[in-house]
Amino acid sequence: MDMDLKEIKQILQRYFEGESSIEEEQFLHEHFRSKTIAPELEKYRRFFAGMNELAESRDPELESGIMDYILENEHREKNHYRWLWQTVSGVAAALIITLFVVNFYGSQNQWKDTYKNPDIAYTEAKRTLQFIAGQYQKGLAPLEPTKVLNTATKPMKTGLSQVNKGFKEVQKLDEVDKKLKKQ
């Protein structure tokens, strides 16, 4: 099987991509055993020599051990996914049952009004909301000094904004100066 360099390179490409046929792989092994190899393919000679040496010195015990390890890990992985699937399914089933029970119980026990008179209910709701608003205001009271601080720093912020504008103008002048120096 005498081939030109271009065809050998194509077979090598397919070989390294894992798309070569058994015949093409055998051809490559034979080709790199031969004494006449193109200089640009010389770098592959040691690779194929090592592959041939490995093929000749196969250890059945090692191969068996590797296969056992692969099968054992595959089995463990399947069991892990099976356990994960069962756990997720169990949680989903429990959630569905819980939602069903809550929905069923909720439809049986409708909320009942605690007040017969709407005016008394309105007054009680208003009183409760006023209590909550008062507690909210008490909670905000310790934050009152920050309003004074914000008011006191307002003139300083205004002054600093003017200074920042000035710095920006100076930066623009520096950029113009650099452009002029480059010209």
- pTM, two decimals, is 0.33
Show the tokens assigned to 178. Answer: 């650099």
What is the C-alpha to C-alpha distance for residues 71 and 77, in angstroms, rounded to an integer? Answer: 10
Q: What percent of the chain has pLDDT over 90?
A: 15
Ordered by start, the domain boundaries in the chain are 5-57, 60-112, 147-182
Q: Tell whether the torsion through CA atoms of 177, 179, 181 and 183 is positive or negative.
A: negative
Report pLDDT digits (tens) over 141-174.
787 777 777 777 777 777 778 878 888 888 888 8
pLDDT above 70 (res 96): yes
What is the C-alpha to C-alpha distance for residues 159 and 77, in angstroms, rounded to an integer? Answer: 67
Instruction: Give pLDDT, residue 1.
Output: 43
Instruction: Give pLDDT, residue 110.
Output: 66
Report pLDDT digits (tens) over 11-43.
989 988 989 898 988 888 888 888 788 888 888
Nearest to 10, CA basis, from 22, 31, 29, 24: 24
pLDDT above 80 (res 5): yes
Are 35 and 67 in contact, with CB atoms under 8 Å apart?
no
Model confidence at 124, pLDDT cuts 50, 70, 90, reads very high
Report pLDDT digits (tens) over 35-73.
788 888 888 888 888 877 777 777 778 778 888 888 888
